[in-house]
Structure 1
């Protein structure tokens, strides 16, 4: 078993009564998490709503965010239907007479995974658009306003956290209960549905939010010298809407798919390494995570002595991580035997290692990895740390040095984060002691360990845009005193850091899940080769000296760059339209500046909505079809190397983009707090430019790479049997294989060319104000 991977087929694993009980308990606890989410919703909505002006502004944000999300779901519905059909057509290895039932289950749970992802994203956005108003209102209170505002923001994030762990655990438990030994194959559909929808929501939401943000900053702050959320800026409502559709809906769906895909990998490999217990223990670990999420959210309380809200968040995070480690250790000793001979149906009966020790150490590695990533990301993005202070100081010499300093921070932080993640992966891998399947299962368990803290992590992430929106509502309404404004500015700076931290942790889960899924991919190849009666060994197929594999590696690395470039360029084009629209309104409605005329906020929302829907198609098609083109065009070996290139480059690129953008944003906050000249100074203008550059880095391209890695891994896993069948099997069909590759390639090329040729429609009249090309508008080719 040390030389290759081979997973037990579905019919070989049945669940005993006691194990069925554990799975039912996991499903019940998942429902408990959903119950806590409902209770928090009621508690948050019961808090004060502030002044009428605040409510009016919050209502506009809520309306725009809801309209965008419904429009996006209509667009994504087309992809869901196509994916369901293709999933049913793709073959299943060695399923025998169960094949049709497995295909139906895989397609059905693809829809469920996508649906859960949409529910979590939509619910996160709906709660954030209601909580932002309440946070702003709480900050106005003279006594205890800081602590209350912090609690409302974080507990609203807790709603999304409970939904994430509850629906993720419920979905996985349902699959295992219904499909038993065939559960891992069906779970491929569940994970793929969650990942695909999350990627589209991340890309589309990221384009919307950063187009509005960049456009608002460039005209409002840089050209007109007005505050960030000044109501005279026509892009302010769109900016606040974008915070919700990008950071709340998009990131919530992203973290849910991380949770789902990691569970998929753990259950696939767990069945192979531990037999029956391998289908149950990976569900016990996230069940414990639900309990620690509840504890973590409710113990997050800001003390008057805390320097900032981050102190309270860190305290709760580390406490919940420690509780998770202790409870998982107890669960492993209670549930797992001390030797592999005590496992039901494990092929590793002769292994001398202890399943208990392997499971405990692997999960602890994941928990420690989350804690280290949090500390490392915090160091590079917190306002009190040297990297952000150095960027702020560089603003004294202009925007060029700000950009250079931020890029440097991003590059450096990517190296350290990659080393930490690699150390976690390799440490888990060493637990296998030479057994590849056991090593990969340990990596997957490390991923589930990291995700025991996901409830608190999601709460941390949602906290960011809620705080940002609350500050915007307060500033736009004018109904806030100096004390309240200071509280909201502090919470906003903390939110920038927590968003960067959650992105770092999400990237770590992507690498762990991708590594584990790679093991599943290689097993699928092995099984397909055996079915096709081909004697070629896996070592020959994956030989790195093979030029085809090196080409696959380069293509995988290149796709990450292309994907990032497309996402950033999409923001640039859309932001250009926003800039011209805001300028037009200032020019044509001079009363805006003195408050006698109201900006046309809806025009900018329309621009961002339409552009986000239009622009997300090309990155989405690239993510789904690139593995198809490589697999059918070059073969299973180059496709494996392609995945390696995606994971390696994607990890570095994602961390670089997220941390540089977060550092630029907080450097701007640092200057706005009075350092290096304060608001209105040349240094402030320089940091605004840096923040503008960093916006699509940290909120569009960077976080979108995380689901990209998992979508590509799952696509490769799903198409691997067909690639083997048509390339080396008895049903070898070279013309069909090449035709599929050519069609996929042509679609990608056409989508990229179409994207690059799109004009930026910059309206010059009221009739063309929405940014759509018209007879009265001027087209500028991007």
Structure 2
């Protein structure tokens, strides 16, 4: 039984003509592209710029580490955070290394144009995974050393605010430079080695980056929010002590979590966004613009390196100006410079007609249009999209705007109204953001009547957005570094008065910048995933050409019942993935609650300061549970497309991707912005509004923030790499799905066996996960059992 409809089978066998106006023939043109000396010079220049970004990152590292580290007590706390974060990531990488080796071997079994491409795809899968790990680890390593330096800078009598902000932002600048440097270098290296065969090899590079980032994002998110929720529930709510009070055994784990989740996890996430968008651009560029389409997507992010350096260096708060205003100004200036330089690059490098392009099909040449103008407008659409999302997300999550103030005001009537108002903010912001992203995608799509060129324009919009990634990563890392700095200050008691107020301000700004970067990250996911539809479709066409002797056009009609089933499953997987992530936080947080309660009960000297809490036990609980919980959402992301593709076919798998992208966009923004609004409404009350700290309003906002923690820092951000992983898995398996579903090679037994194994593994993982209780009511019956359960 074939997976294709009778009409599609006819196309595959050459008995029905495909629609020539939409055909994409990447195999015919891309593999025949060869680089001339001048082209190698362009790629070499891009690699030099990438290495320059890494060198600039090193300069910033030296600058950050040169700052003072404060008192001995502050340094002791920072050292404990450093040790906990390093121990967690080392254990996580040992766990993920096994998974990476398995995937590396499986990639060899998938179809490829040649043995060389198959080997290159597997090797560069490891490169992508390794780069993602390096960026994540570096983000953690530096942030755990910068946090104490930011706290120390805030203590300085003169220019303390300016220096603290500079150290925090330039710490993020380091991670930003490493992200763009390694991403650009990896893509340019593949093009240098494989030329026209680079797009297929780059699938492995992007998959490696996305897969590891997803695991780091989920694992780090579970760790950080388990500690944060556990600390808040026992410390703030039950014991009525401050957030980072050293008497709370979960405080060190909470600070460790900020680094392994928001620094390591988010840095890896933004790197994979960078890598996968480049992958989509290079794959589609060769089909649409030929040789120039292979190289221009490298030139655009190379320009972004220059503007990132400018953006990092000009970030400075003026007297009486908020830190968020200064950061936003730097972003807009760097974005404007990027737009001007990219426009110049498009007009200088690309011809004014398709006849001037090298290696494109006659069909695309006949469509007409101006390649330089198409590329220019597409890139600017991406840059404008980043700017609009920055303003939109800032409006819904910053303390100075009405949405957060309304959530804060709702605390006067209790926790329930805080929850309801925060959810309302999340739902509303998701709609506006989805419309903005949709407008950008559709605007880029309208730039050409050729589907191949239109999809490339969407990918170029993603490249335009990438020009701001250096500053975006700096904004993101700024958040957890500032949060940690405030935690160290409060735990040590060595930062008071104006210094403490400076850190409180920077922490609130950091909550907003983190929300902004999550919004921009999901926008890149949508652009990349939409563009990768073209890669998925092309992979099917190539496999059909091999199986049936004619390159066929696959049209997946959305009202076909089998496709609608795929759409429903794709949407359901996003909900299921989010539920798994939030339940994982609930389970781990429950274990933290038991342990912190036990310590307060069994060690009465903690409250008067005569006994030191056992911080290490909570760190161990968070580490153990977060790594244990990684398997189920990871297996779901990788195997669900396999089950749908081999079980239902290529059409339903396309529907699956569409459903996941649409639902994932709304879900990710809802989770991120509602969580950000709850967090900053708490900051608003703690600043003295509606009764201030210790009031009933404060207790209500703490509950809201606790609910929002796994929303904004675990489930929401993890949807971004989830979408890319599922898209790339679909692209990689598409040829095999067609091979076992067409004509003489149709093999239902093989197809259904593969789908069955995938379903069995997912079900088994879910069953094992569900055996772990999520209810705090299932607490151990007595203290002795509690000690055993948390040991």
| TM-score of Structure 1 vs Structure 2, range by shorter chain | over 0.9
Instruction: Give the aligned partner of residue 397 of structure 1.
Output: 413
Matched, 1:260 2:260: no
1:768 Cα offset (Å): 6.3
CA distance in 1, matches of 2:782, 2:172: 42
CA distance in 1, matches of 2:515, 2:25: 38
Instruction: Give the aligned partner of residue 734 of structure 2.
Output: 720
1:759 Cα offset (Å): 3.7
Q: Tell me if the contact between 1:577 and 1:771 (Cα under 8 Å) persists in the aligned partners.
A: no
Instruction: Give the aligned partner of residue 650 of structure 2.
Output: 636
Matched, 1:457 2:472: yes
Q: Tell me if the contact between 2:537 and 2:554 (Cα under 8 Å) persists in the aligned partners.
A: no
1:739 Cα offset (Å): 0.4
Alignment gaps of 5+ in structure 2: 1-19
CA deviations over 1:316-348 (Å, ceiling 9, x no partner): 000000000000011111111111111111222
Q: Tell me if the contact between 1:237 and 1:601 (Cα under 8 Å) persists in the aligned partners.
A: yes
Change (3 A) 1:150 1:58: same
Q: Tell me if the contact between 2:541 and 2:554 (Cα under 8 Å) persists in the aligned partners.
A: no
1:534 Cα offset (Å): 6.9
CA distance in 2, matches of 1:178, 1:767: 62
1:499 Cα offset (Å): 0.1
1:305 Cα offset (Å): 2.8
Matched, 1:219 2:234: yes
1:193 Cα offset (Å): 0.1
Q: Tell me if the contact between 2:22 and 2:452 (Cα under 8 Å) persists in the aligned partners.
A: no
Q: Tell me if the contact between 2:47 and 2:188 (Cα under 8 Å) persists in the aligned partners.
A: yes
Change (3 A) 1:770 1:144: farther
1:171-182 mapped onto 2 (5 Å cutoff): 171-182=186-197
CA distance in 2, matches of 1:237, 1:770: 20
Instruction: Give the aligned partner of residue 417 of structure 1.
Output: 433
Q: Tell me if the contact between 1:606 and 1:770 (Cα under 8 Å) persists in the aligned partners.
A: no
Matched, 1:547 2:561: yes
Instruction: Give the aligned partner of residue 206 of structure 1.
Output: 221
Q: Tell me if the contact between 2:404 and 2:677 (Cα under 8 Å) persists in the aligned partners.
A: yes
SS at the partner of 1:532?
helix
CA distance in 2, matches of 1:548, 1:6: 27
Question: Of 5, 11, 24, which residue of structure 2 is paired with 1:5?
Answer: 24
Q: Tell me if the contact between 1:603 and 1:769 (Cα under 8 Å) persists in the aligned partners.
A: no
Q: Tell me if the contact between 2:646 and 2:752 (Cα under 8 Å) persists in the aligned partners.
A: yes
Matched, 1:68 2:68: no
Question: Of 446, 452, 473, which residue of structure 2 is paired with 1:430?
Answer: 446
Q: Tell me if the contact between 1:568 and 1:697 (Cα under 8 Å) persists in the aligned partners.
A: yes
Q: Tell me if the contact between 1:534 and 1:728 (Cα under 8 Å) persists in the aligned partners.
A: no
Matched, 1:754 2:754: no
CA distance in 1, matches of 2:259, 2:744: 52
CA deviations over 1:272-298 (Å, ceiling 9, x no partner): 011111110000000000111111101
SS at the partner of 2:304?
helix
Instruction: Give the aligned partner of residue 35 of structure 2.
Output: 15
Instruction: Give the aligned partner of residue 39 of structure 1.
Output: 59
Q: Tell me if the contact between 1:604 and 1:770 (Cα under 8 Å) persists in the aligned partners.
A: no
Instruction: Give the aligned partner of residue 327 of structure 2.
Output: 313
CA distance in 2, matches of 1:476, 1:363: 46
Change (3 A) 1:452 1:616: same
Change (3 A) 1:91 1:771: farther
CA distance in 2, matches of 1:55, 1:536: 65
SS at the partner of 1:400?
helix
1:591-740 mapped onto 2 (5 Å cutoff): 591-740=605-754
Q: Tell me if the contact between 2:431 and 2:666 (Cα under 8 Å) persists in the aligned partners.
A: yes
Question: Of 83, 87, 98, which residue of structure 2 is paired with 1:78?
Answer: 98
Instruction: Give the aligned partner of residue 780 of structure 1.
Output: none
Q: Tell me if the contact between 1:120 and 1:163 (Cα under 8 Å) persists in the aligned partners.
A: yes
- Report the count of equivalent residues: 766
1:20 Cα offset (Å): 1.1
CA distance in 2, matches of 1:140, 1:350: 67
CA distance in 2, matches of 1:684, 1:4: 60
Question: Of 360, 377, 382, which residue of structure 1 is paired with 2:393?
Answer: 377
CA distance in 1, matches of 2:221, 2:784: 28
Instruction: Give the aligned partner of residue 587 of structure 2.
Output: 573
Change (3 A) 1:620 1:385: same
CA deviations over 1:211-252 (Å, ceiling 9, x no partner): 000000011001111000000000000000000000000000
Q: Tell me if the contact between 2:221 and 2:710 (Cα under 8 Å) persists in the aligned partners.
A: yes
Matched, 1:25 2:45: yes
1:730 Cα offset (Å): 2.6
1:317-396 mapped onto 2 (5 Å cutoff): 317-347=331-361, 348-396=364-412
CA distance in 1, matches of 2:781, 2:496: 38
1:539 Cα offset (Å): 4.5
Alignment gaps of 5+ in structure 1: 775-782
CA deviations over 1:424-463 (Å, ceiling 9, x no partner): 000000001x210000000000000001000000000000
SS at the partner of 2:423?
helix
TM-score by length of 2: 0.96
SS at the partner of 1:12?
coil
Matched, 1:406 2:418: no
Q: Tell me if the contact between 1:584 and 1:765 (Cα under 8 Å) persists in the aligned partners.
A: no
Q: Tell me if the contact between 1:618 and 1:752 (Cα under 8 Å) persists in the aligned partners.
A: yes
Question: Of 279, 282, 290, which residue of structure 1 is paired with 2:305?
Answer: 290
CA distance in 1, matches of 2:568, 2:666: 15
Q: Tell me if the contact between 1:577 and 1:763 (Cα under 8 Å) persists in the aligned partners.
A: no
CA deviations over 1:114-163 (Å, ceiling 9, x no partner): 00000000000000000000000000011100000000000000000000
Q: Tell me if the contact between 2:591 and 2:790 (Cα under 8 Å) persists in the aligned partners.
A: no
1:767 Cα offset (Å): 7.0
Q: Tell me if the contact between 1:763 and 1:772 (Cα under 8 Å) persists in the aligned partners.
A: yes
Q: Tell me if the contact between 1:607 and 1:771 (Cα under 8 Å) persists in the aligned partners.
A: no
CA distance in 2, matches of 1:764, 1:309: 49
Matched, 1:187 2:187: no
